[in-house]
């Protein structure tokens, strides 16, 4: 409180919420409680979205630090993007092939993941530190990796010297000192900081984990191959969702279909799953909330309406109507007319399941839920372990709680482990950690 002048402190102390409702001007005064907590949005007193702006910004700053998976991101990267040229060709990708990963990463995708796994494992076991001498350990050879490959991943994608980090931080520095805690963190691109003699430390292991994720690959590939890479990645994610759903015992799993005529028709949603006497329509959106959408409420809503909103209002609504009308496009599948919708997003859209955001998003004409890829994996794993698919879909689409909490609660209700294994994800993780036959 030392930085506040007396008149400011007196106004704060006189502010009492016991005599009436909490107002924007009272909330604005609370910013004086911390010397370094001033936020530009707190100055928008009287503007309707001021508090929403603050909520959006701080949510995207803080929540990711408490919701990451230690190695799930790495396994998910391989599960989604891994494959051979026959697989990529079958999906009619524009730029991604086996050679693409070598050109982009300097090695095949699985080798990149294996090297990353060893780096993360060492760092986690040593309180976030990493010594480049580890690359010469004979144990690395068990994974058919060379020291050069391991150090390529580390130096090219994960590490930077302190002087370089200082330059990058200064280049995008807020002119207002008390706002600099909101600047973009240069550790997002290179989470390990050199401290001399080949030793590095990761102040946040969350950022180190994220550097070997699907989100990181998206930005790395976008820089080299532009929108063609993003489009290919979207196709890979759609295919992965279908492979996940294909693990379930179902009556029908229908991929995207053409309906209507050329002049009056289109495409149905990416997948329709028929099981437990309900039809669940899945639309996959690989678009991410861009940086402006992480800083203000209006931009955040605009981003959501462009991808999730469009999926609800156009794609899921139309597909649900076609199912209920027994349209010729679905007649041979005999789909149940009790329809539910699921929008699957590549990255978390924080707060999107709340009552407030549901009021902003369009109504698709059926119960719906927005799931991340990780939540979809947990949904599939819970059903495979014994949770009722229909009951779980109904619970997810009816709740405003986080989907992860709903899945855990449903699992507990039927005696299913809270975090059951997902076979497809487990196979990808086994591929990353597998020691080749004949290795020492």
The span from the CA of 65 to the CA of 206, in Å, is 6
Residues with Cβ within 8 Å of 185's Cβ and at least 6 positions away in sequence, in order, are 207
Mean pLDDT of 136-162: 92
What is the DSSP-derived secondary structure letter of residue 142? G
Q: Is the pLDDT of residue 37 over 70?
A: no
Interstrand relation of 159-161 and 192-196 (parallel, antiparallel or unpaired)? parallel
pLDDT band at 416 (very low <50, low <70, confident <90, very high): confident
Model pLDDT, residue 43: 56
Average of per-residue pLDDT across 72-82: 93
Task: Find the distance separating the first CA and the last CA of the chain, reported in whole Å.
Answer: 62
Mean pLDDT of the chain: 86
pTM score of the predicted model: 0.85
Tell me what the mean pLDDT of segment 152-156 comes to.
97
pLDDT at residue 34 tops 50: no
pLDDT at 44 over 70: no
Write the pLDDT tens digit of every residue in 340-356.
Answer: 999 999 888 887 888 88
- pLDDT confidence of 148, banded at 50, 70, 90? very high
Question: Looking at the predicted structure, is the pLDDT value of residue 109 above 60?
Answer: yes
Question: Does residue 231 carry a pLDDT above 60?
Answer: yes
For residues 27-55, give the mean pLDDT.
58
Whole-angstrom Cα distance, residue 68 to residue 228? 28
Helix (H) or strand (E) holding 65: none
Helix or strand run (H / E) with residue 56: helix 50-62
How far is the C-alpha of 150 from the C-alpha of 148, rounded, in Å? 6
Q: Is the dihedral of CA 269, 368, 357, 291 positive or negative?
A: negative
Beta pairing partners, 193:
160, 201
| Reported confidence tier of residue 68, pLDDT bands at 50, 70, 90 | low
More confident residue, 274 or 204: 274
Q: Is the pLDDT of residue 312 over 90?
A: yes
What DSSP element (H or E) covers 278? Answer: strand 278-285
Listed residue (192, 240, 202) closest to 345, CA to CA:
240
Q: Contact 379/411 with Cβ under 8 angstroms?
A: no
User: What is the per-residue DSSP string for 368-407?
Assistant: EEEEEHHHHHHHHHHHHHT--HHHHHHHHHH--S-HHHHH
> What local confidence, expressed as pLDDT, does residue 285 receive?
93
Residues 180-228 pLDDT 10s: 766 778 898 999 999 999 999 999 888 999 899 998 999 999 999 999 9
Residue 182: half-sphere exposure toward Cβ, Cα within 13 Å: 22
Tell me what pLDDT residue 33 has: 44
pLDDT of residue 42: 54
Name which of 43, 62, 53, 39 is nearest 298 in CA terms.
53
303 has a pLDDT exceeding 80 = yes
pLDDT value at residue 27:
63
At 411 the pLDDT is: 87
* Most confident residue range from 66-70, 199-203, 301-305: 199-203
Please state, for a pLDDT cut of 70, what percent of the chain lies above it. 85
The predicted structure's pLDDT at residue 51: 73
The rounded distance, in Å, linking the Cα atoms of 380 and 416 is: 13
């Amino acid at each position: 409180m030392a930085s506040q002048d007396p008149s400011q402190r007196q106004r704060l102390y006189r502010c009492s919420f016991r005599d009436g409702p909490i107002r924007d001007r009272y909330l604005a005064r609370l910013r004086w409680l911390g010397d370094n907590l001033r936020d530009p949005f707190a100055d928008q007193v009287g503007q309707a979205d001021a508090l929403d702006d603050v909520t959006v910004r701080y949510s995207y700053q803080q929540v990711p630090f408490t919701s990451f998976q230690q190695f799930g991101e790495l396994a998910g990267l391989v599960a989604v993007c891994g494959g051979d040229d026959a697989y990529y060709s079958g999906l009619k990708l524009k730029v991604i092939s086996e050679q693409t990963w070598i050109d982009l990463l300097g090695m095949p995708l699985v080798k990149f993941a294996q090297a990353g796994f060893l780096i993360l494992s060492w760092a986690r076991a040593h309180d976030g530190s990493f010594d480049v001498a580890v690359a010469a350990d004979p144990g690395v050879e068990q994974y058919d990796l060379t020291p050069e490959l391991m150090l390529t991943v580390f130096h090219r994608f994960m590490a930077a010297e302190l002087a370089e980090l200082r330059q990058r931080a200064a280049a995008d520095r807020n002119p207002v000192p008390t706002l600099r805690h909101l600047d973009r963190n240069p550790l997002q691109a290179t989470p390990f900081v050199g401290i001399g003699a080949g030793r590095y430390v990761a102040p946040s292991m969350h950022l180190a984990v994220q550097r070997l994720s699907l989100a990181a690959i998206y930005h790395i590939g976008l820089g080299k191959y532009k929108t063609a890479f993003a489009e290919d990645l979207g196709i890979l994610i759609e295919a992965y969702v279908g492979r996940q759903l294909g693990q379930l015992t179902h009556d029908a799993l229908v991929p995207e279909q053409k309906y209507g005529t050329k002049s009056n028709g289109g495409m149905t949603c990416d997948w329709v799953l028929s099981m437990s006497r309900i039809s669940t329509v899945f639309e996959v959106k690989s678009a991410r909330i861009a940086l402006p959408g992480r800083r203000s409420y209006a931009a955040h809503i605009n981003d959501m309406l462009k991808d999730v909103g469009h999926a609800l209002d156009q794609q899921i609504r139309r597909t649900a109507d076609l199912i209920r009308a027994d349209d010729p496009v679905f007649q041979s599948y005999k789909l149940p007319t009790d329809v539910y919708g699921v929008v699957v997003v590549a990255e978390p859209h924080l707060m999107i399941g709340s009552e407030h955001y549901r009021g902003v998003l369009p109504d698709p004409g059926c119960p719906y839920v927005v799931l991340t890829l990780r939540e979809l994996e947990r949904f599939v794993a819970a059903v495979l372990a014994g949770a009722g698919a229909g009951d779980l879909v109904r619970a997810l689409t009816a709740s405003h709680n986080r989907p992860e909490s709903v899945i855990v609660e449903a699992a507990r209700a039927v005696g299913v482990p809270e975090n059951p294994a997902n076979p497809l994800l487990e196979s990808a993780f086994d591929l990353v950690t597998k020691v080749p036959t004949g290795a020492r």
